[in-house]
Amino acid sequence: MKNVGVLISGRGSNLGTLIAAQKHAPYRIALVISNTEGAGGLARAAEAGIATQMIPHKGKSREVFDAELDAALRAAEVDIVCLAGFMRILSDGFVRTWEGKLINIHPSLLPAYKGTRVHERVLEAGEAQSGASVHFVVPELDAGPVIAQASVPVHPNDSPETLAARVLEVEHSLYPAALRLVAEDKVRLEKGLAVFT
Ligand code: GRF
């Protein structure tokens, strides 16, 4: 059984699906940390009886903030860290410390459309397909090796909001499935690749 820490900044719908899936999964969410006050995800976690912590980033250097995250995760004996709508860039030091144990979900078919404004850019480019990716986190933003992906069609009349909602729906089954693979040691980060066993 692996202890999981989830970092969030907002509504936490992906956190919600990780919580729902843990009943029959080889992991337990030991701690949810938000860098923003009043994040919807904090209430979801508290309702589920999961420990929560608010660690504000304002007025702190990236290194100081990340050291606080690291200390909280270690105190909770976390084995795997999931980023779920966490809107802060992590320092290289933090990423290296948690390398192979740090995963993220991104709402595009990586390596396409890293960064922000994903759905707007997908629509502007006239793509027929988009999707979501769960990947190991490496220092370069959204560039880590992919563990799992799911695709959705892009419809001609889509707005960024309708496309985001379609992608979010597949995120909700993708993230628990990918976390299960990591928790069961069925995939690991090795020399910059996601290696499956
Ligand atoms: C998701 O679209 C995720 O892919 C992205 O941020 C969003 C978070 O949504 N990284 P939620 O807070 O899990 O509802």
Q: How confident is the model at residue 80 (pLDDT cuts 50, 70, 90)?
A: very high
Residue pLDDT, tens place only, 82-97: 999 999 999 999 999 9
Residue pLDDT, tens place only, 33-49: 999 998 999 999 999 99
Atom number in ligand 1 closest to CA 10: 12
Is 57 a catalytic site residue? no
What's the 192 CA to ligand 1 centre distance in angstroms?
Answer: 24
Atom number in ligand 1 closest to CA 86: 10
Q: How confident is the model at residue 17 (pLDDT cuts 50, 70, 90)?
A: very high
Q: Atom 7 of ligand 1 has which residue's CA nearest to it?
A: 85
Identify the pLDDT of residue 123.
98
Q: How far apart are CA 83 and CA 121, in angstroms?
A: 22
Q: How confident is the model at residue 128 (pLDDT cuts 50, 70, 90)?
A: very high
Identify the pLDDT of residue 143.
94
pTM of the model: 0.96
